Structure formats: C-alpha cells, structure tokens
Amino acid sequence: MNSLVVMSVFAAAVVLRLVLRLWLIGRQIRHVARHRDAVPADFAGTVSLEAHRKAADYTIARQRLELLTTAWGSAVLLGWTLLGGLDALNVLVRDAVQPRWGDLAYQIALVMAVSVIGSLIDLPFDLWRTFRLEQRFGFNRMTPGLWLKDALVGALVGAVVGVPLLALVLWLMAAAGPLWWLWAFAALAGFTLLMQVVYPTVIAPMFNKFQPLADEALKGRVEALMQRCGFRAQGLFVMDGSRRSAHANAYFTGFGASKRVVFFDTLLSRLTPGEVEAVLAHELGHFHHRHVPKRILTLMGVWLASLALLGWLMAQPAFYVGLGVQPSLMAPNHALALLLLMLAGPVFGFLLAPLTAAVSRRHEFEADAYACRQASGADLRAALLKLFQDNASTLTPDPAYVRFHYSHPPASERLAALAGR
Ligand SMILES: [Zn+2]
C-alpha cells in the first residue's frame, strides 16, 4: 500500500461526501421553501396553513444549521487527519504519559483527549441547536443548568463505561495475536448485549424519571393489547420527556426479562387512549418482526468486517502516513489505528446510508401494517397526524433527501399506506 494513494482516496471521499451532503441539504431547503405556502391536497382538511408554515420554517432552520455542521465536520476531520491535528496531539500525549505510566495509559489518554476535544469542538453547535433553534420554535424545555448537568453526567457515564472497554480492546490488540480482532469483536458484542439490559435499568434513570403508568383505564387497554400480541414486558413506564423537550415519543427497550415499554409524558398528554394503543401496537410490530435484533446483528456484521479490516490496515505504515499520522516506533500504535478507523470509517460508510435508511423505512411500514391488525388503523392515522404536526415535521420533503436520510417514511407516504388498509 502506498501512502499517497491512501491520502488521495481519503481526500476524494471526504470531498465527495461533503458535496453530496450539501447538495441534498440544498435540495431539501429549496423543496420545502417552494411548498411553504400551500398545504398538500391530502392534508387540506386536517392541517392548517399556519401549522404547515411552521413545519416548513422549522425544517429549513434545521437544515441551515445542518449545512454549517456538515461543512464544519468535514473541516474538523481534515484537521485531525491530513492537516496533522491527531499527529501533533499524539506526540504531546505520548511524550507526557508513556515514559511515566506506560503504553496502556498513554493510549487511553490519547483516545480520551481526542473525544474531549471533539466534544468541545461540537459544543457551540449543540448549544445553538438547543437554546436558539429548538427554543425559537417552542420545543426546548431545557434550562442551562439541566443542560450542564446532562453534559457532565453523560461524560462521567461515558468514561466509567467506555474506559474499561477501551482498555480491554487495547489489551487484546497487544496480547491476543493476529486474530485479536475476533476477540475484540467478541468483547464489543458482549458489551452491546450487556448494555441492552444496563441502559434502560441503570443509565436512562440517571437522566429521566420513570414512573409506572398510573392511568388504570389506559393500563387495562395496553395490557390487553400486549396479551393479544404475545408480548411480555417487565413494566409500563411514563418518562418525563417534557423536562427537556416538547417532542413526543414512545418506545420499548431491553430484551428478555428487562423488556419495558416507555411512554413520553408528552405523548400521553396529547393522544387519546385509542391513539396511544395504536402507537404502542406499532412499537409491538417492531418487536413482532424482530426489527431490533436484526438491526443489532447488522451492526455487528459491520463491526466484525471493520475490525477484520483494521487487523490488516494496522500493520501497513501507509495507513497511518496516508491519513496524516506518523506511527511510533517505541510505542504501540493500537489507539492511533482505532482512532483513524473511527475518523475515516464513516466517510466510506456514508455510501451505505441510502441502504440502511431504506431498510428502516420498510420496517416502519411493516410495523404500521401490524398495528392495523392489532389495533385501530384510524386511531394510528390520527395519532401519526398529531405527532407529525406536534413535531413540526414537514409534509413536503425533497424525494432525494428522503431516500438518503429518512429513517421513517414521510407523512404523505405513511398515511397513504395506512389509508389503503
Ligand atoms: Zn416505528
């Protein structure tokens, strides 16, 4: 492998991805703006012009921010790699940590330094999104104090969970021989399964309050639905989503004995009991069709392939040099290799975006169809319409943008499919 070839391929991919993304965002902004002043015929009786315009303005405002973050993200990526940011940081951390605390400490410190700097670089955009954009459209409920607390708790949990896993992977890379990537994959897969249990029961409650669903009438309905669907959950919970945002949602998490159904309080306050039942039936549709295990398996396939690839790349000096980093001769380069994979991998993974989005949209249709069999299709339509409006989702997205980025079908396609049932 030649470092000049690596560099050229990488730079071309970064530019190509950037151009494609900016083009799609531009299309979405223009398409939504063009349709801003007329409610589509299918929604003429149900959506007001005012709500339609708000959705258009909200979509455009978000896409404008997206333009900025996309351009900025590409600049930062080139800054880390070809412009030498990671190389300089590596030298700094290595010389400061390795002689005194050893190889493993140096590598953990390097990964932590990159993730802290990366978060700080994105910070202004996060703040702007929450306190300007979401605020302007009336969605933000977050106070600066809560935001800060979330950031600190999130960083702490990330460190407590992430550092031991990172240490384990780095140790395997050094000690497990040429097939280290198989062992590292097993560790990651085990960790992912463990998180399915730990996240809903331990981590999510650090950020939100979960209370058992108290509304007896609704509870009876929901339990009857779950019985019909053959779904056994450990509990029905209401989450105080309204503390942070007015956006509404429902989901179920965990597997085996840790399965639980979670309703956002913002959802319950807006929907009738029949509509809540229909939304839950949709979620159970995902369960029935095993969409979550399928997604986890796909993700694991991608990891396995990426780690196997890294096992080969890691031994090629051109991999490091081509991405702007000088590998060390006196210290292990495992952390560097992992960081380069994390930085450069998504540039190529982006090509898979239309495929994963299409699969995800198909799953939504399947879950909707299931919901119509188990609950009322009319209630599901009414609920979705309320949610589309409450979340100010545009009714007129650009078709190309949808194909590339939408994990859920746009309102028009989704309601049309439901109307046909
Ligand atoms: Zn869904």
Q: Are 310 and 338 in contact (CB under 8 A)?
A: yes
How far is the centre of ligand 1, averaged over its atoms, from the C-alpha of 121 (Å)?
33
How far is the centre of ligand 1, averaged over its atoms, from the C-alpha of 199 (Å)?
20
- The tens digit of pLDDT for each residue in 83-124 reads 999 999 999 999 999 999 999 999 999 999 999 999 999 999
Q: Are 139 and 247 in contact (CB under 8 A)?
A: yes
What are the structure tokens assigned to 285, written together? Answer: 């549709």
How far is the centre of ligand 1, averaged over its atoms, from the C-alpha of 41 (Å)?
25
Task: Note the maximum CA span of the chain.
Answer: 72
How far is the centre of ligand 1, averaged over its atoms, from the C-alpha of 336 (Å)?
38
C-alpha distance across the termini of the chain, in Å: 56
Residue type, 151: A
240/245 Cα distance (integer angstroms): 10
What are the structure tokens assigned to 401, written together? Answer: 């943008």
Q: Are 355 and 405 in contact (CB under 8 A)?
A: no
pLDDT at 38: 93
How far is the centre of ligand 1, averaged over its atoms, from the C-alpha of 408 (Å)?
7
How far is the centre of ligand 1, averaged over its atoms, from the C-alpha of 169 (Å)?
34
Ion ligand 1: residues, CB within 5 A, are 364, 367
pLDDT at 281: 93
Residues of the chain with pLDDT under 70: 254-258, 421
Q: Are 264 and 236 in contact (CB under 8 A)?
A: no
How far is the centre of ligand 1, averaged over its atoms, from the C-alpha of 410 (Å)?
12
How far is the centre of ligand 1, averaged over its atoms, from the C-alpha of 283 (Å)?
6
How far is the centre of ligand 1, averaged over its atoms, from the C-alpha of 268 (Å)?
17
- The tens digit of pLDDT for each residue in 163-185 reads 999 999 999 999 999 999 999 99
pLDDT at 289: 94
Q: Are 233 and 259 in contact (CB under 8 A)?
A: yes
DSSP state letter for 327 = P
Q: Find, among 387, 384, 361, the residue nearest to 286 by Cα.
A: 361
What are the structure tokens assigned to 200, written together? Answer: 């809903």
Q: What is the pTM of this model?
A: 0.89
How far is the centre of ligand 1, averaged over its atoms, from the C-alpha of 389 (Å)?
17
Q: Are 334 and 170 in contact (CB under 8 A)?
A: yes
239/204 Cα distance (integer angstroms): 10
- The tens digit of pLDDT for each residue in 16-34 reads 999 999 999 999 999 999 9
> Quick one: how far is CA 271 from the chain centroid?
26
How far is the centre of ligand 1, averaged over its atoms, from the C-alpha of 119 (Å)?
30
What are the structure tokens assigned to 356, written together? Answer: 């994963």
How far is the centre of ligand 1, averaged over its atoms, from the C-alpha of 367 (Å)?
6
Token look-up 């933000």 returns 140
> Quick one: how far is CA 35 from the chain centroid?
29
How far is the centre of ligand 1, averaged over its atoms, from the C-alpha of 166 (Å)?
32
295/300 Cα distance (integer angstroms): 9
With both helix axes pointing from N to C terminus, report the angle between 334-349 and 291-313 in degrees, rounded to the nearest 10. 130
What are the structure tokens assigned to 228, written together? Answer: 């019909």
